[in-house]
Amino acid sequence: MIEATSLTKRYGKTVAVNDLSFTVAPGKVTGFLGPNGAGKSTTMRMVLGLDNPTSGSVRIGGKQYHELKHPLRTVGALLDAKWVHPNRSARAHLTWMARSNQIPARRVDEVLDAVGLTSVAGKRAGGFSLGMSQRLGIAGALLGDPEVLLFDEPVNGLDPEGILWIRKFMHRLADEGRTVFVSSHLLSEMALTATELVVIGKGRLISQSSTKEFVARASDSSVRVRSPHLPRLRAALAEFGATVNDVDDAILVSDVDSSKIGELAAANGIVLHELSPQQGSLEQAFMQITGDSVEYHTDLDTEARQVLASAAS
Ligand SMILES: Nc1ncnc2c1ncn2[C@@H]1O[C@H](COP(=O)(O)OP(=O)(O)OP(=O)(O)O)[C@@H](O)[C@H]1O
């Protein structure tokens, strides 16, 4: 369990994290979502005691990082996959980490096996692909067999196979009962990976909920309706206070749900050929909810377009 309470971090005039409170529960993958510069990395660094909060606190299993007796046995993290001496082999790197943290050497082979790096364990880490480096970073995070795991943008730059591997691995760790907290600015990716979402913008909490709830709350709640009696239906809906917009051969009805539209149509003897609530995407939800909190609109718009384009292709 991770608990942040009124967490605030200032760098000079920049407020990177602003009065942020959230909890991350065990047994689930919780996504930490926000556009670039929202404060995700700063928050993760504070969880890990790498940066001190200006005010507020963050606790892991009830303790601040510096109060943990065996930090690596409580919390493991992947912040920067390339943080490895390039001439060291994967095994030598992990052995060095294990030794300096009083972790038994046999754990090295266990974690190499867990991330599928056994066959290349003797090779120079400097020659690893990004995907292999991410696996090595994850192996390092798992060395102390910790209950809590933090991953900062773990799929950045990975190919589809690497992304799928990381996603499955996160689910496996959560199924083992661990607390898995993973940051990303990739909205579609988080929809597939996380069941819970902590969403921030400009350092502030925008929402904490299940991914499903987040999408439902913000998604376009309009209903698409087709009918051979559109003028009569339009009149009945207008009387009920609904907002109606024309699209192709249908109308999009807002402010009234689909069951009410069906009842109104039946009460007026109107035939319906289609009555379909419109499902919003995580991208729409994110854009709608983050709204003004987005610091770099242009970046986010470009990014959202890319995500939507890749999802559609
Ligand atoms: N060491 C620092 N000194 C000064 N400003 C910083 C420092 N670290 C972060 N910031 C600023 O704090 C804000 C939040 O940055 P942070 O890196 O935490 O965001 P992020 O959500 O992780 O974004 P990204 O995905 O781009 O890394 C940004 O405005 C950033 O410029």
Q: What is the pLDDT of residues 206-240, one digit of tens each?
A: 889 998 887 666 555 689 999 999 999 999 999 98
* Same domain for 115 and 251: no
Amino acid, res. 78: L
Domain membership flag for residue 290: no
* Same domain for 228 and 192: no
| 7, 17, 40, best to mutate for ligand 1 pocket (most atoms within 8 Å of CB) | 40
- The per-residue pLDDT for 217 is 65
Q: What is the pTM of this model?
A: 0.77
Domain membership flag for residue 301: no
Residue position matching structure tokens 């499903």: 212
Domain membership flag for residue 287: no
* Same domain for 265 and 178: no
* Same domain for 142 and 20: yes
Q: How confident is the model at residue 306 (pLDDT cuts 50, 70, 90)?
A: very low
Nearest atom (ligand 1) to Cα of 185: 25
Q: How confident is the model at residue 312 (pLDDT cuts 50, 70, 90)?
A: very low
Q: How confident is the model at residue 83 (pLDDT cuts 50, 70, 90)?
A: low
User: From the CA of 106, how far away is ligand 1's center (Å)?
Assistant: 38
Task: Count other C-beta atoms under 10 Å from residue 262's C-beta.
Answer: 15
* Same domain for 207 and 255: no
Amino acid, res. 159: D
* Same domain for 107 and 254: no
* Same domain for 252 and 205: no
- Residues belonging to the chain: 313
Give me the residues paired with residue 251 across strands.
225, 246
**Is beta strand 274-277 parallel, antiparallel or unpaired with respect to 14-24?**
unpaired
* Same domain for 142 and 8: yes
Beta carbons of 143 and 76 less than 8 angstroms apart = yes
pLDDT digits (tens, 9 = 90+) for 260-289: 999 999 999 999 999 998 766 556 666 666
Cα–chain center distance at 264: 40
Q: Which domain holds residue 88?
A: 2-217
Q: How confident is the model at residue 302 (pLDDT cuts 50, 70, 90)?
A: very low
| Three-state DSSP state, 252 | strand
Mean pLDDT within 187-198: 86
Q: How many domains does the chain divide into? A: 2
Is the shortest distance between the CB of 52 and ligand 1 below 6 Å?
A: no
- The per-residue pLDDT for 218 is 59
